[in-house]
Amino acid sequence: MNDTPSHDSIQHDASEALAEHIRRADADGTPLRIVGGDTKAFYGRNIQDNTVESLSTREHRGITAYDPVELIVSVRAGTPLRELEDVLTANGQMLACEPPHFGPDATVGGMIATGLSGPRRPWAGSVRDFVLGTRVIMRQGSEQRFGGQVMKNVAGYDLSRLMVGAQGTLGLVTEVSMKVLPRPGATRSLRLAMSPKDALDKLAEWGRQPLPITAAAWIAGALHLRLEGGPSSVAATARRLGGDELRDDAWADLREQRLDFFNTEDPRPIWRLSLPHHTPLLEIPGTTAEADILHDWAGTQRWVRSDGDADAIRAVAGRVGGHATCWRGANGAPVETPFTPLDPVVEKYHRNLKTQLDPQGIFNPGRLYAAF
């Protein structure tokens, strides 16, 4: 592993300043709102509390180690996500989970805190799947290291991966080590006009075949596909499937939610449904047309515009083994309970973990659930 990066990333270790801030907050019982680029601040519960102090990670930045041969990179939390991706691209590599930015100031820490992944997620894996290890400042300002720099280096509780999607409620992630992958040799995107039912049926059929599909979304009357891999395999599959050519950057538009579906002036809330593979079409309360639903991740992630009852929408997802998150409230406003309420047994484990790692409750209190 190259511990002295030769690229042009800005290096600044602010871990001691961050630790001192946390030590003071823990001693005083002062709640902290951890802030990176703030591009994903809308995701989760909106905490309005004048006693909460902001703690920015933006000064703690830089790629600390990168080994293109071993496909491993270690990077500080405040590093701009675009900066990391630029370095990887220059070496013919990528973050295969395609994390969304939602703005130019997105940071690596925000990627870890939210755990959000892009269109390639069902085929390559989620953010959590690529995390090898983390450095985390815990209560009383102690910095701990979890995991390592190889895929199989975990004994007991895998705390490094627990940090992914925890919204900063368990501690301040200061650095993360991740697996990266080579960029594909060829890419081609297709648009095939068909109904959402036909799209789901086709995807179920193609899922049993060795096709180089790495993204699939039904959008506005058509199935959009991305093929990636060797040039000959991509070309042969494109000829077989047919359809029209689609811009390759259409997937960035989907990932960054620049499509009309997300930008419309429709005042209804946007819901994100996470569903098992091969879930058929669902009747979602409050939807009035096919255009109210966008199918991503081959149908396992469905974006829905609906003013239906929240409990009813969550019940529909729950009956097929999924769950529903209110991504944005009516007219884009935050909502009190964006995430599906926890089962009492699961909530007990969450509460116990929070108590063990953050007994004073200073890290992003109430960000995930009001109870902790």
Residue 26 lies in a domain: yes
Residues 100 and 156 in one domain: yes
Q: Which two tokens stand for residue 186?
A: 């060829």
293 belongs to a structural domain: yes
Task: Say which residue, 246 or 46, is predicted with more confidence.
Answer: 246
Rg (CA), the chain: 21
The reply to whether 10 falls in a domain is no
Last residue of a domain, one of 147, 182, 217: 182
CB 145 within 8 A of CB 135: yes
Write the burial class of residue 174 (CB in 10 Å: 0-12 exposed, 13-18 middle, 19+ buried).
buried
179 or 333: whose pLDDT is higher? 179
CB 108 within 8 A of CB 60: no
pLDDT at 7 over 60: no
Which of 62, 58, 131 shows the shortest CA–CA distance to 95?
131
Q: What is the DSSP string of 203-255?
A: HHHHTTS---EEEEEEETTEEEEEEEESHHHHHHHHHHH--EEE-TTHHHHHH
236 and 313 both lie in a single domain: yes
pLDDT at 5 over 80: no
- Counted domains in the chain: 2
Q: Are residues 42 and 177 in the same domain?
A: yes
- Which single residue is written with the structure tokens 């690229």? 7
**pLDDT tens digit sequence for 254-296:** 999 999 999 878 999 999 999 999 999 999 999 989 999 999 9
pLDDT tens readout for residues 351-366: 999 999 999 999 999 9
How many percent of the chain have pLDDT more than 70? 95
Pairing of strands 93-94, 244-246: unpaired
Rounded mean pLDDT, 164-183: 97
Three-state secondary-structure class, residue 57: coil
How many Cβ atoms are within 10 Å of 89's Cβ, its own excluded? Answer: 11
Q: Which pLDDT value is given to residue 48?
A: 76
Q: Collect all residues with Cβ–Cβ distance below 8 Å to 98 and sequence separation of at least 6.
A: 117, 118, 119, 120, 121, 124, 251, 255
Task: Give pLDDT tens digits for 97-128.
Answer: 999 999 999 999 999 999 999 999 999 999 99
Integer Cα distance of 350 and 346 in angstroms: 6
- Give the CATH number, domain containing residue 162: 3.30.465.10
- Residues 282 and 155 placed together within one structural domain of the fold: no
Tell me whether residue 348 is in a domain: no
The pair of structure tokens assigned to 310 is 């929240």
Q: Distance (Å, rounded) from C-alpha 58 to C-alpha 108?
A: 10
The per-residue pLDDT for range 201-248, each reduced to its tens digit, is 999 999 999 999 999 999 999 999 999 999 999 999 999 999 999 999
Q: Would you say residue 150 has pLDDT above 60?
A: no
Per-residue pLDDT tens digits for 301-334: 999 999 999 999 999 999 999 999 999 999 988 8
Tell me, yes or no, whether 284 and 241 share the same domain: yes
User: What pLDDT is recorded for position 47?
Assistant: 80
Residue with structure tokens 């930045």? 61
> 153, exposed or middle or buried, with CB in 10 Å at 0-12, 13-18, 19+?
middle
Q: Are residues 292 and 198 in the same domain?
A: yes
Q: Considering 332, 347, 364, which residue would you say is the last residue of a domain?
A: 332
177 belongs to a structural domain? yes
User: Does pLDDT of 74 surpass 60?
Assistant: yes
- What pLDDT shows up at residue 147? 82
Residue 78 has pLDDT above 80, yes or no: yes
C-beta separation of 60 from 14 below 8 A: yes
Residues 237 and 207 in one domain: yes
Residue 337 lies in a domain: no
Q: Residues 156, 20: one domain?
A: yes
Same domain, 163 and 237: no
Is residue 3's pLDDT more than 90? Answer: no
Binning pLDDT at 50, 70 and 90, where does residue 157 land? low
How far apart CA 117 and CA 125 sit, in angstroms, is: 8
340 within some domain: no
150 with 273, same domain: the answer is no
- Domain boundary residue among 124, 152, 182? 182
153 and 245 share one domain: no
Structural domain includes residue 2: no
Domain that holds residue 314: 186-332
Kindly state whether residues 115 and 158 are assigned to the same domain: yes
State residue 2's pLDDT score: 52
Main-chain phi, psi angles of 280, to 5 degrees: -70, 180
